[in-house]
Structure 1
Amino acid sequence: MAKRTFESALGKLEQITEELEHGDLTLEKSLKKFDEGIALVDYCNTTLTEAKAKVEVLLEKQGVLSQTPFEELDHGDKELS
């Protein structure tokens, strides 16, 4: 079994969402897909939480965590007018 990545889990979650929205599945298959989707959401949330913790560690300065909201960081992007 290949190692799951955030991107692959998100892609699969999008596919499941489309299948459920289309409405052609039986109730049993819909419930199975829904359950699979919940597991993927849990995986994605855990992955994002871990990534946030890593970013906070990288932002640590002189032993004191300096949290800066992501929106306030300089991303090098220029605002579009």
Structure 2
Amino acid sequence: MAEKDKTFDESLVDLEKIVNQLEQGDIPLEKALDKFQEGITLSRELKKTLQDAEKTLAKVVTEEGNEELFEEE
């Protein structure tokens, strides 16, 4: 699966795995640096996804109004 095809949740799981590997501290420095860079990239992608979702939600709230967005069906 290509990186761009991953869901938000899959990317988040990958980031958590990287953090766990780095916290263990038992990987060679070169691999740790690679993992760190990969983690930074994933973190930026996840942040952008969340920001985009927030903008979309704000637009829906503005267009539809709070009442309609949160009404129970």
Q: Which one has a larger percent helix, Structure 1 or Structure 2?
A: 2
Query: Higher relative contact order at CA 8 Å, sep ≥6: structure 1 or structure 2?
Result: 2
TM-score band, normalised by the shorter chain?
Answer: 0.7 to 0.9
Alpha-carbon distance in 1 for matches of 2:13, 2:19: 10
Per-residue displacement from partner, 1:42-74 (whole Å, max 9, x unpaired)?
000000000000100110147xxx79xxxxxx7
Give the drift of 1:4: 1.5
Provide the residue aligned with 1:31 in structure 2.
33
SS in 2 for 1:24: coil
Provide the TM-score with structure 1 as the length reference.
0.72
Sequence identity of aligned pairs in percent? 38
- Relative to the length of structure 2, the TM-score reads 0.80
Q: Which region of structure 1 is more displaced relative to structure 2, 53-62 or 41-50?
A: 53-62
Letter in 2 for 1:5: T
After superposition, where does 1:22-61 map in structure 2 within 5 Å? 22-61=24-63
CA separation in 2, counterparts of 1:50 and 1:4?
16
CA distance in 2 between partners of 1:40 and 1:60 (Å) = 30
Equivalents in 2 of 1:6, 1:61: separation in Å? 26
Q: CA RMSD in A?
A: 2.1
List structure 1 segments (4+ residues) > 4 angstroms apart after TM superposition: none
For 1:33, give the aligned amino acid.
Answer: K
Give ranges in structure 2 of 5+ residues lacking alignment.
Answer: none
